[in-house]
Structure 1
Amino acid sequence: MNKASQQPTLELRRISKSFGKNLIFKNVNLAIQPQAILSIVGPSGVGKTTLLRTILGLEDVDQGEFFLRGAAFNPLDHSQNQVGAVFQDFRLFPHLNVLQNITLAAVQVQKKSTTEAQEAAEKLLTSLQLLEQKDKYPFQLSGGQKQRVAIARALILKPQVLCYDEPTSALDAASKWQVADLLEQFQASGMTQLVVTHDAEFAKRISNQIFTLGGQ
């Protein structure tokens, strides 16, 4: 195995974050190996989602460094969309249908043609068993369907890492294990994934690595 293949896909070194005088976490170090699923767990209020938001460039950090495949990167620079996200509230645009939600960033940010983006979106929708929903609007979808649309919207940008914030929080037990199956399918296809979750049972099922935040 060569050195490049041994590089973690995503690495955080000495990440610290405060809000005013309130220290959220200090000197966090973690590394996600290629094609692994890493779950960030810990008590409520310990800063799991805040840590995820720093990885996504939605919060700045007080100190620390981020690396993708061994190269330093700035999460605040969103121009390359190297880290994708599926948020707890899905964040779909209510005035756009499923196909439009998925293709919007591919066309506007990555400058793909509408035709190219729609073809890629339809392939993703087919794989996620959502093709029949492509002309529907978010209010017409179930929670599980909204989540899969949000996943397709992230996947179309071909991120190096796909992150999820509490992916099972709004789902029943059956849907939760369907999500677990989906993450395992993505892993088998080569995707590196990071999951923030309070669900220890879910984390144990899906994870190659578990990182417990708290007590720094």
Structure 2
Amino acid sequence: KEGFSVSLTCTYSTSSSYIYLHWYHSYPNRASEYILQRGAKSRSGNVHTAEFAKGKFDSRVDSSTTTLTINNVQLSDAALYYCALQVAQCWRSYPLLYKNFIHSCNSHHLNCVSHFPLFFQPQELTVPSEEGETVTLTCTYSTSTSNIFLHWYRKYPKTAPEFIHYRGAKGYTGTHTADFAKQRFDSKTDSSSTRLTVKNLELRDTALYYCALH
């Protein structure tokens, strides 16, 4: 009911001691929105909350769960909520979910610092295509960070975002592609853009696609 508080809980399991637990929400036909993160185990005490969420959203963590509390619930809070576990060894970890902030990592220490991107913009709102064709989606970006990864995700209604592919840019050259995407999805990057190419389009490729800078 409106005005009440509600708590949502996710359980997790990991052998790492350096972790952050994130919460997001998603409204129909929109990219997922970051709410907050809280460190656990060796990262306990590290907390970051989006400006809009301060005073309304909070979380608790322990060795196996993360709980999000929403205070003074309103109708506008009705959305799909989900959680993500991030291992702090950023240069080795694979993304779990879309993040609307950048992680700058020092590979000699297990440290991650969050920064909001200066600019990250999709270039196409919709791309009409037919089965069997090849299509390319483009995002442009601007950042002073020299070691970055550019990620692509897709999202179907009422489901969490699905990782497709990432490719390093500037100081990083690594790449990783989800198993389902290895034959038909690829990307190219340069100093200001990332382009996702989808080959041999299928009806199931109809989804919301978006990019993220890590």
TM-score normalised over the length of structure 1? 0.28
TM-score normalised over the length of structure 2? 0.28
Higher strand share: 2
Higher helix share: 1
